[in-house]
Amino acid sequence: MRETRLFSPFRLRDVTFRNRIAISPMQVYMAGQDGLANDWHLQHLGKFAAGGAGLVFTEGLIIHPLGRSSYGDCGIWSDDHIAPLRRITDLLHAEGAVAGAQLHHAGAKAARRRAWDDFRALDDEDAARGEPPWQPMGVSAARVVAKYHAPRAMSDAEVAAVPGLFADGARRVDAAGFDVAEIHAAHGYLIHSFLSPISNDRTGPYGGDMAGRMRLALEVAEAVRAVWPEGKPLFFRLSCIDGLEGGWSIEDSIRLATELRLRGVDLIDCSSGGIRSTSSIAAAGSPPLGYQVPHAARIRREAGIATMAVGLIIQPEQAEIILQQDDADLIAIGRVVLENPNWPLTAAYRLGSDPDRKTWPKPYGWALRGLDAARSDNAEETGA
Ligand SMILES: Cc1cc2nc3c(=O)[nH]c(=O)nc-3n(C[C@H](O)[C@H](O)[C@H](O)COP(=O)(O)O)c2cc1C
């Protein structure tokens, strides 16, 4: 058995992760209009825990109905959302994973169709089938992309109420049994749109200079930390760079991460992009593998805080090297785990940390040992 970093445990506050693999938050647009999680979400997230992930994140759970990206999003704006999420955390725990919940408000990117309908703005056709559009609220009245609804600029009083909404969401995910909460401040959504000089042209307390643009992010972190139990880790997802001229930079992220650490945030989840595009992935095009890892590495070193690397980390060896180089503490995977929910177990086998498939669920492990033996015998016969 080979010792690997990827399959070494990790501890933050009172929570121990069995390995370094996290399932990145992914919206699946499968909730009903009430925003309640259902059996689809249960099997979707449960199979990642059974597949060996150390940490399984929900999709971005919406803290206020006006902040819904689409009518298919899961909500956390009501106490009614707690019970179905509790079924999910019970299953994740039974399968040995840590349960993470992402808290989300889509800001000016609200009121859209689902991803496979190209995130188009809701229109009369949608209203006719029971999904009427609404006017999103945002940092300013500017559209994120031309095809979206023009948002309404939030008043300072409305912005000042946002931290309390995130804190209410945190209280509910705690009641639902989650171990980790993550504040979504990336991809052009509400909090990111206040950070970026491209989107934030406000005057007053939540605009202007860097301190003004960071104010909402820091107030949300403080409000959530105040209600989130001391023993539970708090993550913060950033678009570490806008990737556009005059935009939010890695130096800005290092400064913000330092401030967040001082306010009790434990880890920065290092994504990028999305400030003027439908999605962060669309904005990235076809980037090289691990394209966001350098952000995780710099923030880890220069802000002195744990980081999670994400974005086209698709090979076990690649994930292992990122950890060995101390570029990140956790590895988040998204699309590869949709393709193979057993990616973590497969990685442990391939890296030699579980050569006998002992960590696989028993009904699979014994069967696959037979398959491994047959493969190796046939390889000898064919000389492969
Ligand atoms: C279907 C899908 C839904 C996503 N939903 C979210 C989300 O709710 N919150 C979020 O922060 N990122 C979301 N993302 C971005 C992923 O968390 C991740 O950062 C991105 O897919 C890059 O990682 P990958 O290359 O491993 O897929 C989503 C990505 C996909 C593919």
Residues 367 and 276 in one domain: no
Q: Which residues pair with 23 in a beta bridge?
A: 56, 333
Taking the CA atoms of 362, 367, 370 and 371 in sequence, report the sign of the dihedral they define: negative
Take atom 23 of ligand 1 and give the residue whose Cα is closest: 311
Residues 377 and 241 in one domain: no
Residues 376 and 292 in one domain: no
Q: Is residue 39 part of a domain?
A: yes
Residue 260's pLDDT is 98
Residues 237 and 384 in one domain: no
For residues 95 and 50, is the Cβ–Cβ distance under 8 A? yes
Residue ranges making up the domain that contains 313: 10-353
Q: Is residue 346 part of a domain?
A: yes
The CATH code of the domain that includes 80 is 3.20.20.70
Residue 96's pLDDT is 98
Residues 276 and 363 in one domain: no
Among 205, 190, 90, 212, smallest CA distance to 156 is for 205
Residues 308 and 380 in one domain: no
Residue 195's pLDDT is 98
Residues with CB under 6 A from ligand 1: 24-27, 59-60, 102, 184, 186-187, 237, 271, 281, 310-313, 333-336
Residues 205 and 101 in one domain: yes
Per-residue pLDDT of the chain (384 residues; tens, 9 = 90+): 899 999 999 999 999 999 999 999 999 999 999 999 999 999 999 999 999 999 999 999 999 999 999 999 999 999 999 999 999 999 999 999 999 999 999 999 999 999 999 999 999 999 999 999 999 999 999 999 888 889 999 999 999 999 999 999 999 999 999 999 999 999 999 999 999 999 999 999 999 999 999 999 999 999 999 999 999 999 999 999 999 999 999 999 999 999 999 999 999 999 999 999 887 776 667 899 999 999 999 999 999 999 999 999 999 999 999 999 999 999 999 999 999 999 999 999 999 999 999 999 999 999 999 999 999 999 867 665
Residues 321 and 366 in one domain: no
Strand 10-12 relative to strand 15-17: parallel, antiparallel, unpaired? Answer: antiparallel
Q: Is residue 82 part of a domain?
A: yes
Residues 118 and 245 in one domain: yes
Residue 383's pLDDT is 64
As separate numbers, helices (DSSP H) first and strands (DSSP E) second, the chain gives 13, 12
Residues 291 and 366 in one domain: no
Cα 375 to Cα 2, 361, 364, distances in angstroms = 21, 20, 16
Q: Is residue 314 part of a domain?
A: yes
Pocket test for ligand 1, best of 26, 286, 310 (most atoms within 8 A of CB): 26
Q: Which atom of ligand 1 is nearest to the CA of 186?
A: 11
Tokens describing residue 99: 């349960």
Q: Identify whether 189 is a catalytic site residue.
A: yes
Tokens describing residue 119: 């995130």
Take atom 21 of ligand 1 and give the residue whose Cα is closest: 334
Q: Is residue 112 part of a domain?
A: yes
Q: Is residue 226 part of a domain?
A: yes
Q: Is residue 3 part of a domain?
A: no
Å from CA of 226 to ligand 1 middle? 28
Q: Is residue 382 part of a domain?
A: yes
Among 207, 215, 186, 303, smallest CA distance to 251 is for 303
Residues 205 and 312 in one domain: yes
Among 190, 197, 248, 198, smallest CA distance to 217 is for 190
| Total domains, the chain | 2
pTM recorded for the entire structure: 0.97
For residues 65 and 71, is the Cβ–Cβ distance under 8 A? no
Cβ neighbours for 9, distance < 8 A, ≥ 6 positions apart: 16, 17, 18, 19, 54
| Distance (Å, whole) CA 280 – CA 274 | 4
Residues 271 and 372 in one domain: no
